[in-house]
Each structure stands twice: as structure tokens, then as C-alpha cells.
């Protein structure tokens, strides 16, 4: 089934449901791709920071709770 768009005209109150144009479908696919890439980059960044933090704690020989105590 084709993706649709619901349009409401605020002047007349008329509501239409229409299929997305080829251009809109292409834009939507590009947006979804960009969104997935941004999410993946965000997750990778988060994982890298967590690994960095764990490595530092190990180097210092203290736990995360102990680090919080020191900085608190």
C-alpha cells in the first residue's frame, strides 16, 4: 500500500488523503536514512564515551561509585 498524506485545509476545513508523490517518497527515504545514520552515530559516540570512562576507571583502579565520591 502506498504511503499517504492527510491534508486539512484550515480555511475550508476540507480533509484529503492523498498518496505521496515520487519526490516526497524519495525525500522521506532520504530523511529516514539520515535519521538512522544520526541515531547510529549517537549510539557509537555513547558507546565510545562509556568505553573511555571504563578504561580510565580501570587505570585509576577505582569503581564508578568511588569516582563519584571523589568528585562529589
Which residues would be at the binding site for another protein (CB under 8 A)? 1, 3-13, 15, 17, 20, 24, 27-28, 31-32, 34-36, 38-39, 42
Shorter beta-carbon distance to another protein: residue 11 or 61:
11
- Least separation in angstroms between residue 33's CB and another protein is 9
In the complex, least distance from residue 61 CB atom to another protein, rounded to whole angstroms: 25
Nearer to another protein, 43 or 61 (CB): 43
25-47: string of b/e by CB count within 10 Å (b at 16+)? eeeeeeeeeeeeeeeeeeeeeee
Distance CA 33, CA 49 (A): 24
Question: Helices 64-71 and 22-60 sit at what angle, rounded to 10 degrees?
Answer: 80
Amino acid at each position: 500500500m502506498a504511503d499517504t498524506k492527510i491534508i486539512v485545509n484550515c480555511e475550508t476545513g476540507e480533509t484529503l488523503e492523498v498518496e505521496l508523490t515520487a519526490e516526497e517518497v524519495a525525500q522521506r527515504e532520504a530523511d529516514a536514512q539520515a535519521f538512522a545514520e544520526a541515531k547510529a552515530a549517537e549510539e557509537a559516540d555513547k558507546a565510545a564515551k562509556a568505553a573511555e570512562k571504563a578504561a580510565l576507571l580501570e587505570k585509576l583502579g577505582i569503581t564508578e561509585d568511588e569516582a563519584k565520591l571523589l568528585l562529589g
